[in-house]
Amino acid sequence: MAPKRIAILKCGTLSAEAREKYTDYYNLFKMLLESAAERMNCPGCIETFCFDPREDTNWPVLDEIDAVLITGSTSSTFDSEPWITQVNDFVKTILAQDRVRLIGVCFGHQITARAIEGIGAVGRNVRGWELGVTNIDLTERGKEVFERDTLAIQQVHRDEVLYAPRGVEILGSSPKCAIQSMYIPNKLFTVQGHPEIKDDIISELVHSRYEDNIISEEEFNEAISREGCEHHGEVIGELFIKFLTQ
C-alpha cells in the first residue's frame, strides 16, 4: 500500500531555545507521527511534507495528498492577517470534499471550527490560560475514539472554540474549555491540546510567559504543579495514524 501523503501546515514558530533542540513544529509532528507508526508496526505508512502558510505561496493540491494537519500558532484564528483567512478558506475547501482528511491541533482545532461556523465560533477564553498537563473529561463518544476512559494532554492556549460547530461530535471538555476535541469519522479529528509538545518546551513556555507578565502567578503556579505529570501525547499520535490510515 502506498504511504498516505500528509501536508503539515506549520502555522507557528518555536522559541529560540526549542528550535535549537527540535527545529520547528513540522519536525515535532513528523516525530510524533513517525514514532507512532513505528510502534503500530506500519513504518513508512505515512509521508509528510511541510507547508508554511505565512510564507509559502504554492498551496498543497488536494488531488496530490491524503490529509492535512494544521499545527498550533501564537496567532489567533480571529486575527485579520491574510494568511489566517487563507488557511480558513483552505479548510473550507477540505471540508467540502470527502477524500482528504483533516487533523487540527490547537490553532488547527480552532480554525476548523471557524471554517464550519464562521469567526463567531472562536474567541478569547474568559477563564484565562489553560497551561500544562490537563485532564480531559471524555464524552461517551470520546471514550470510544480515544480508546480509553481518561485522557491527559499538554495545553498552552487562551483562545478557544466557543460552541460546538454543526455536524461534529464533541469528544471531551475541561473545566476551562468546553470543546477540547472534535470528530467526524473519516473526515476530521481535532484536539485543543498539544500531543506533539515535549515537557521541556512547555516548561520553558510557562516560565517565559510568566517572566513577561503574560500569565498570572496563579496560572504559573497551577501549570508548574503539574510538571512531569503523565500525559497521552503518544497515544494521540497513534490515534492520528489510525485515523489517517484506516
Residue 147, by phi and psi: left (phi above 0), alpha (psi -120 to 50) or beta? left
Task: State the DSSP string of 13-64.
Answer: ---HHHHHHH--HHHHHHHHHHHHHHHTT-TTSEEEEEE-TTT--SPPPGGG
For 140-186, write each residue's pLDDT tens digit.
999 999 999 999 999 999 999 999 999 999 999 999 999 999 999 99
In sequence order, what are the residues at sequence separation of 6 or more whose Cβ sits closer than 8 angstroms to the Cβ of residue 32?
A: 195, 196, 233, 234, 237, 240
Contact predicate 9/51, CB 8 Å: yes
Q: Cell numbers at residue 106, please?
A: 490547537
Contact predicate 70/102, CB 8 Å: yes
In sequence order, what are the residues at sequence separation of 6 or more whose Cβ sits closer than 8 angstroms to the Cβ of residue 136?
A: 142, 150, 151, 152, 153, 172, 173, 174, 180, 181, 193
Is the pLDDT assigned to residue 105 strictly greater than 80? yes
Q: Give mean pLDDT, residues 55-79.
A: 98
Q: Give mean pLDDT, residues 98-112.
A: 99
Residue 44, by phi and psi: left (phi above 0), alpha (psi -120 to 50) or beta? left
SS3 state at 173: strand
> Domain 4-245, CATH 1.10.3720.10 — does that match?
no
Mean pLDDT, all residues of the chain: 97
Residue 190 and residue 182: Cα distance in Å, rounded?
A: 5
In the chain, the percentage of residues whose pLDDT exceeds 90 is: 99
Is the pLDDT assigned to residue 1 strictly greater than 90? no
Residue 155 and residue 163: Cα distance in Å, rounded?
A: 19
